[in-house]
């Protein structure tokens, strides 16, 4: 019989890639979606009829318990979260409720309904924050620099604790930034690739950015969902860093994106102090040796290829827009 997976956050970037990945592997895929007055299913619209969506919310314990009773999955991927770092300063309590306590609610539901369910938690390189050593691996201490990062540290440790306390199969994937044409437009890569496309096509004049010197280890979301799945196929649950091992500045990102559309960024890009963060994570770079050796995972798409793919997709999207 086909294995069954349940994805929280299926409407997000990673949820959309993971759903396709699991369908290709022959899974029955179920997704948890929260109620909204208008549907937000753009990234999974073409999967209608191939996946099953259920209404539940990370804030509502009983809704998650009922969902697991209904679906009876073998694997649960907890991708849902308030995932935008700047919003976490504006809404620190809500971020803690979704992104930290939400993890415990899913784990409690699993403990109650079926302890043999395999659980994946979407942890983050933001937990390293003010980094102590470079590159960062599974043993690097955490020093989160935002309410989001703090909430993710809680999510990571509660996952480890349910593994150790109840012998549940719980994995924490410490994923570095990963992007795609489906990345939300507020994140810096997509903000830049969308702006490059719009400026090229005469639909936008300027691009305002914050810290151009920030460095990230950016990979492709399509590669990273494979690592999530691989973690749940092992004999033993564990935690893994998933990263490319290369870091680049926001400035380099801008240069590649604008070069793709033959524009000089100096003519269009300005910095805006309002976009600087109360506390910045200046640089992140991951060491994914463990994932490469134990899971056999490796990234396939490089940084330039990723940004060019995103610019090309945005050009196509903007051209198709009516104006």
Provide the annotated active-site residues. Answer: 124, 126, 148
Report the phi/psi class of residue 240: left, alpha or beta, with left for phi > 0 and alpha for psi in -120 to 50.
Answer: beta
Order of strands across the sheet with 4-8?
51-55, 28-33, 4-8, 75-78, 118-124, 170-175, 239-242
The CA–CA distances, whole Å, from 65 to 5, 236, 276 equal: 15, 25, 40
**213 near ligand GDD, judged by CB under 6 A:** no
Nearer to ligand GDD, 49 or 278 (CB): 278
Question: From the list 191, 198, 200, 248, which residue makes contact with ligand GDD (rule: CB under 6 A)?
Answer: 191
Q: Please report whether residue 228 would count as binding ligand GDD according to CB under 6 A.
A: no
Query: Which residue in 161, 152, 79, 77 sits closest to 119, CA to CA?
Result: 77
Using the minimum distance from each CB to ligand GDD, give the nearer residue, 170 or 175: 175
Cβ closer to ligand NAP: 80 or 311? 80
CA-based nearest residue to 297, from 247, 248, 235, 243: 243
Judged by CB under 6 A, does residue 310 bind ligand GDD?
A: no
258-266, 276-284, 288-296, 300-308 -> range binding ligand GDD (CB under 6 A) = 276-284
| Cα gap 161→167, rounded to integer Å | 9
Compute the distance between CA of residue 232 and CA of residue 30 in angstroms, rounded to an integer.
17
With contacts defined by CB under 6 A, name the span among 34-42, 202-210, 268-276, 315-323 that binds ligand NAP: 34-42
Residue position matching structure tokens 């102090």: 273
Stretch that binds ligand NAP, among 57-65, 230-238, 251-259, 265-273 (CB under 6 A): 57-65
Residue 275 binding ligand GDD, by CB under 6 A: yes
Which one of 23, 59, 201, 261 is in contact with ligand NAP (CB under 6 A)? 59
Q: Give the nearer residue to ligand NAP in terms of CB position, either 85 or 199.
A: 85
Give whichever of 118 and 216 is closer to ligand GDD, judged by the CB atom.
216
Judged by CB under 6 A, the stretch of 21-29, 53-61, 68-76, 104-112 that binds ligand NAP is: 53-61
Residue range at the interface with ligand GDD (CB under 6 A); choices 22-30, 53-61, 278-286, 310-318: 278-286
CA distance 302 to 172: 24
Segments of the chain assigned E as strands: 4-8, 28-33, 51-55, 75-78, 118-124, 170-175, 178-179, 207-209, 215-216, 219-220, 239-242, 248-249, 269-271
Per-residue binding letters, 62-101, with ligand NAP (x by CB under 6 A): -----------------xxxxx--------------x---
- Helix 250-260 to helix 303-320 angle (10° resolution) is 50
Among the listed residues 29, 30, 53, 57, the single contact to ligand NAP using CB under 6 A? 57
DSSP, collapsed to helix, strand or coil, labels residue 269 as strand
Does residue 177 touch ligand NAP according to CB under 6 A? yes
Nearest to 110 by CA among 165, 151, 152, 181: 165
| Residue of 8, 128, 154 whose CA lies nearest to 75 | 8
Return the residue nearest ligand NAP (CB atom). Answer: 12
Provide the minimum distance between the beta carbon of 8 and ligand GDD in the complex, in angstroms, as a whole number.
15
Contact positions toward ligand NAP, by CB under 6 A? 8-9, 11-15, 34, 36, 40, 57-59, 79-83, 98, 122, 124, 175, 177-178, 184
- Contacts with ligand GDD by CB under 6 A lie at 83, 85, 124-126, 176-177, 186-188, 191, 209-211, 214, 216, 250, 275, 277, 280-281, 284
């Amino acid at each position: 019989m086909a294995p069954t997976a349940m994805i929280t956050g299926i409407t997000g970037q990673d949820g959309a890639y993971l759903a396709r990945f699991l369908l290709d592997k022959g899974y029955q895929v179920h997704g948890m979606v929260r109620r909204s007055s208008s549907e937000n299913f753009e990234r999974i619209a073409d999967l209608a009829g191939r996946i099953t969506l259920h209404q539940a919310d990370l804030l509502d314990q009983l809704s998650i318990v009922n969902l697991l009773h209904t679906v009876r999955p073998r694997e649960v991927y907890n991708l849902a979260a308030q995932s935008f770092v700047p919003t976490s300063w504006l809404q620190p309590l809500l971020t803690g409720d979704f992104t930290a306590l939400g993890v415990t609610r899913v784990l409690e539901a699993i403990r109650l309904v079926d302890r043999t369910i395999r659980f994946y938690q979407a942890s983050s390189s933001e937990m390293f924050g003010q980094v102590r050593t470079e590159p960062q691996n599974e043993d690097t201490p955490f020093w989160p620099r935002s309410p989001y990062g703090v909430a993710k540290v809680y999510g990571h440790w509660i996952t480890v604790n349910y593994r150790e306390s109840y012998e549940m199969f719980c994995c924490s994937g410490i994923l570095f930034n990963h992007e795609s044409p489906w990345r939300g437009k507020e994140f810096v890569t997509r903000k830049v690739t969308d702006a490059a496309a719009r400026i090229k096509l005469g639909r936008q004049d300027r691009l305002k950015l914050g810290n151009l010197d920030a460095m990230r280890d950016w990979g492709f979301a399509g590669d990273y969902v494979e690592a999530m799945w691989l973690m749940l196929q092992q004999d033993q649950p564990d935690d893994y860093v998933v990263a490319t091992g290369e870091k680049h500045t926001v400035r380099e990102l801008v240069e590649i994106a604008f070069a793709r559309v033959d524009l000089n960024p100096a003519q269009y890009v300005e910095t805006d102090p309002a976009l600087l963060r109360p506390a910045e994570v200046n640089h992140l770079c991951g060491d994914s040796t463990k994932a490469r050796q134990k899971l056999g995972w490796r990234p396939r798409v490089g940084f330039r290829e990723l940004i060019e793919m995103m610019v090309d997709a945005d050009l196509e999207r903007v051209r198709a827009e009516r104006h």
